[in-house]
Amino acid sequence: MAKQATKILSKTKPAEVDKRPPDQPKRAVVGMSRQERKQIIRKGQEKLEKLVRQSEAEKQGKKPEDVKLKHDYRTW
């Protein structure tokens, strides 16, 4: 009982074990801030939206600016 109490009350935490396999990289975007990652994501979403607008405009015979999309391709 005393061992359990000291274990619960102790402030030292056990060493964390990395659960990833050793050959797997840690993170692809190490060294980038959250803002930088968001900028990259937004550029990709804008490019995707532009491509979708172009393809829909070709199908409908309209200009890309006049096409109304069913789905919003942005997360912001």
pLDDT in tens, 32-60: 788 988 999 899 999 998 998 999 899 98
User: Would you state the torsion angle of the CA atoms of residues 36, 37, 39, 43, taken in this order, to the nearest 10 degrees?
Assistant: 140
Tell me the three-class secondary structure of the chain, residue by residue. Answer: CHHHHHHHHCCCCCCCCCCCCCCCCCCCCCCCCHHHHHHHHHHHHHHHHHHHHHHHHHHHCCCHHHCCCCCCCCCC
- The proportion of the chain whose per-residue pLDDT surpasses 70, expressed as a percent, equals 74
> What pLDDT score was predicted for residue 71?
78
If you average pLDDT over residues 20-28, what whole number do you get? 67
Q: Which two tokens stand for residue 14?
A: 């056990």
- What sign does the CA torsion over 22, 23, 29, 32 have? positive
Per the model's pLDDT, the better-predicted residue between 63 and 73 turns out to be 63
